[in-house]
Structure formats: structure tokens, C-alpha cells
Amino acid sequence: MPGIFFDGDWKWLILSGAVLGLINFFVKPVVKIISLPLIWLTLGLFTIVINVLMLDLAAKIVGALVIETWTAAFWAVVVISAINYIISSFLPEKD
């Protein structure tokens, strides 16, 4: 994807995924609670901005992941969300 570069081997790739997962587990819920009025006001569209910020934070922590523009981060979030949706549609639902 133009604007996003990865400069490292597979170990950095796994570390990037782990860092993004940890950020989404610990930081994202706090940010969503703080920005709840904006999420309600925009009918949930502000969550896209939150996802872009979480991806940008992961890129700042892991030096091997470089995101040049907000547009590239936005499209990366769209692709990650689409892949997540497709994968979760194949998984069985929990009771």
C-alpha cells in the first residue's frame, strides 16, 4: 500500500502485530470511553479516527513500521477492518 512501509524481517512483523494487539487491548478502550460523546455525535464514524490513531501509535512504537500520511493510515485501517470482517464471518458464533 503506498505510504506504508515495513523495514524489517519477520520478527519485526510479529512484533508489530503484537504491539498493535496490545494497544487495541489496553489503550483503545480508554480512548473510546473518553471520546464517547464524539462517537455518538458522528454516529460511530469517529471510531475510524481512533483506529487510525492506534495504528499510528503502533508505528511510532515499532520503528520498522513507517506510515507516511494519514490517508495511507486510513486506507490501512479500512483494509484491516475488511479482513477482520471476512475472517470473523467464517468463524462459528459463540453462544
For residues 74 and 52, the answer to whether their CB atoms sit within 8 Å is: yes
Q: How many domains does the chain have?
A: 1
DSSP conformation class of 62 = S
Give helix 70-90 / helix 46-61 axis angle, nearest 10°.
100
Q: pTM for this one?
A: 0.88
> Chain centroid to CA 36: how far?
18
Domain that holds residue 15: 4-90
The DSSP annotation for 79-93 comes to HHHHHHHHHHHHSPP
pLDDT tens sequence for the chain (95 residues)? 789 999 889 999 999 999 999 999 999 999 999 999 999 999 999 999 999 999 999 999 999 999 999 999 999 999 999 999 999 999 988 76
